[in-house]
Structure 1
Amino acid sequence: MHEKSVKVRHYLAGGREFAGGIGRLVGYVVDAAGPDQAHRLSDTRGPRWSPPRSLPRLGLALAAMLGDRIVAPGRIHHIHVAGRGSTIRKLILARLARAIGCTHVLHLHDNDYAADLAARTPRQLARIRRMFQGADRVVVLGHRDRATVVEHLGVAPSRTLVLRNCVPDPGPAGPPDRPVPTILFLGTLGPRKGVPELLAALASPAMTRLDWRAVLAGDGAVASYLREAARLGLGERVSMPGWLGRAEAGALLAGADILVLPSHAEGMAMAVIEGLAHGRAVVATRVGAHEEAIEHGVNGLFAPVGDAEALAATLARLVVDPALRARLGAAARASYLERFSMGAYIGRLGALYGSLAPAPSGLLERKTT
């Protein structure tokens, strides 16, 4: 069956605009698939969790699944799941999918699903196991997550697929044409992303004696961190523009020298892949599947989680050494083209869909001729 004839519906909280990295990834997939592919999206929560607004959204997603079973019985239902409330909503969706016989894929995006499972009650854990074991396929971001679903949830290894995140190719980019290096952070401003340590690192003596500027772009506690930056004496060197769209974030990446993401927990951060795609020197932490994307000293650098002093030393090393930035950036771009391009991702995803899609019946064939 040709992959262009496969119909897919994605289920994710917040849709393309309010689902963070998951929303960006699904948006990239939908855009790359083109007008001939039948990808539809169902928002299961809305911009943020609010029972009066979120429960009707979930109800509409369930209704869409029921309607598809009648009017598009061959549609594949791609359910994107993370921890906490996301799992609860997806338990409801996956139970309906099993009950009415929908082909469905579970796509795990959580930053530490094993820890989330450890906090569940035995009854919840049993339901989550049934959900994952009942899916036609389970997609994970890296080998750590594959071990979680196989060892903790009992999913057969043959029914799992490691599919690392990807981003569209921004094209080759030369070094930014500015004398003062720019350090860029992309993500929600908060402790999980390591923003307190990042500000502490930027305010350390190792960094304040050097010339640089930094942009921390993302939603979250922006006003609070602006006050903290001012308190640390960084007000003239650090800007926080808030949440940015894809084009604005791309422009920042094109003009940056260093992409930093000192997270405490991640799955496979989209910002890291975007840094690789733009050929920037990437500084990250050894969390989630980052070690499957970055080789320390080859296409990026790692800093220890929560260690502001070590992060400052790593950033300072890059600020004073443009040759190192250029070498890491060139290797980052090469690794993106080899392992994280949209073409490779869409090809593997299309193969997955094609393996699950039913062959057209004779009746359907007669209707389409």
Structure 2
Amino acid sequence: MLMKAITDGNRIAAQNAATVRHYVPGGCENGGGIGRLVGYISNTAKEAGATHLVTDTRGPRWSVATSPARLLGAILVMAKDRIVAPARIHHIHIAGRGSTSRKLLLTEAARLLGCAHILHLHDYDYASDFATRSPRQQMLIRRMFQHADQVVALGQRDRMTLTTLLGVDERRTAVIRNCVPDPGTHNVQAGERPLIVFLGRLSERKGVHELLLALSHPIMKGLQWRAVLAGDGPVEDYRRQAAALRLSDVVDMPGWLDAAAAQALCARADILVLPSHAEGMAMAVIEGLAHGLAVVTTRVGAHDEVISDGETGVFVPVGDKDALAAALAKLVTDPEIRSYLSAQGRAHYLNHFSMKAYMRSLDKLYEAVSGQPQTMVGAR
């Protein structure tokens, strides 16, 4: 009996040592940029001797039928945590559309159970998504955000959405911009054709159609370059578009790459391009800065808070294929500009976007939440 008590005590102590559980649509493997970020957080915490658990609330995008079961499983995990690890903080990652519908249920469970929980907003335009909801849904969404212990935004625009549109107390909001692990110094391959990379879901919102038009633009004809457009989505459709534009020999679309493969691709690249129509704070932009790539992107989301045009990256107007082609052509043909942007972007990453700084921000957030009393609804 004594040995069993000691074993049970050790088990509970180990469970309580994992002070944070993340809830991610798709988990680390199928959660897109959110999943990749949480994977980085989990791995960094592990290296420091801590444990951040991860629970999938949706499953893969293509597995719609299993999504309700995943969500129910996440709620049951939360309920179990409330018993075996009552001090655990539940870090809930949320976007618009179906993600919000799932998180309305998950956060209500957290409220009823008395779980300390954080809402972390990752969305390219949550205000617009909110505007499409019914008055009842809007009321529920406002209540969801207002009842969270803390709410994280990726930039000041989203923080304004939280405080003005959703009514969240500004004192319970924090801006924590996405980060990536340090991949090390970028080694330029002198004499090789510049490699242009795109990382993200292949879609209209990410500007892939304009990117293909820019790559087939007359100004790019005759220049020496290669491009890899890596991401999930309707890959075959975009491959057909590339073939119709006679780009198949210079543009590769390998599909979604895991974190290791994406890092390997960036390690041999020169230019990171992301001509998005809307973003929160794109992981790909931070990846580009970290790897010392010349970053070409658009003034959307928090990008303007991160990139200085002509210093740490290059901005082009949304949907402007001609401006995008001109920017890419200039970088392809001018190694000195590429080198300057590389050095400035890499220094900017080291100064502001290291995982060490990111984890310090999270620890401060968790300390604030831990200091707030939590009680189950109806408890006396």
* Equivalent of 2:184 in 171, 179, 182: 171
Q: Judge conservation of contact 2:46–2:52 (CA < 8 Å) in 1.
A: no
Q: Does 1:131 align with 2:144?
A: yes
Q: Matched residue pairs, number?
A: 357
| 2:233 alignment partner in structure 1 | 220
In the TM superposition, 1:273-352 aligns within 5 A as 273-352=286-365
| 1:65 alignment partner in structure 2 | 78
Q: Judge conservation of contact 1:141–1:268 (CA < 8 Å) in 2.
A: yes
* Equivalent of 1:11 in 20, 23, 48: 23
Kindly tell me: are residues 136 and 239 of structure 1, through their superposed partners in 2, closer, same or farther at Cα, counting changes over 3 Å? Answer: same
| 2:44 alignment partner in structure 1 | 32
Q: Does 1:21 align with 2:33?
A: yes
272-281 vs 52-61, which moves further: 52-61
Aligned equivalents of 1:247 and 1:212: distance in 2? 24
Letter in 2 for 1:125: Q
Aligned equivalents of 1:178 and 1:168: distance in 2? 28
Letter in 2 for 1:9: R
Q: Does 1:105 align with 2:122?
A: no
In the TM superposition, 1:150-229 aligns within 5 A as 150-229=163-242
Aligned equivalents of 2:342 and 2:250: distance in 1? 23
Q: Does 1:81 align with 2:94?
A: yes
Structure 1 runs of 4+ aligned residues shifted over 4 Å read: none
Give the aligned CA root-mean-square deviation in angstroms.
1.5
Aligned equivalents of 1:176 and 1:123: distance in 2? 57
Question: TM-score, with normalisation over the residues of structure 1?
Answer: 0.94
SS in 1 for 2:198: strand
* CA offset digits 1:247-270 (Å, max 9, x no partner): 111111111110000011111111
Q: Judge conservation of contact 1:6–1:354 (CA < 8 Å) in 2.
A: no
* Equivalent of 2:158 in 108, 125, 145: 145
The offset of 1:50, in angstroms, is 4.5
Aligned equivalents of 2:95 and 2:242: distance in 1? 32
Aligned equivalents of 1:95 and 1:231: distance in 2? 50
SS in 2 for 1:192: coil
Aligned-pair identity (%) = 60
The offset of 1:175, in angstroms, is 1.5
The offset of 1:39, in angstroms, is 1.4
Kindly tell me: are residues 20 and 51 of structure 1, through their superposed partners in 2, closer, same or farther at Cα, counting changes over 3 Å? Answer: closer
Gaps spanning 5+ residues in structure 1: where? 361-369
The offset of 1:177, in angstroms, is 3.6
Aligned equivalents of 2:182 and 2:254: distance in 1? 24
Question: TM-score, with normalisation over the residues of structure 2?
Answer: 0.91
The offset of 1:178, in angstroms, is 4.1
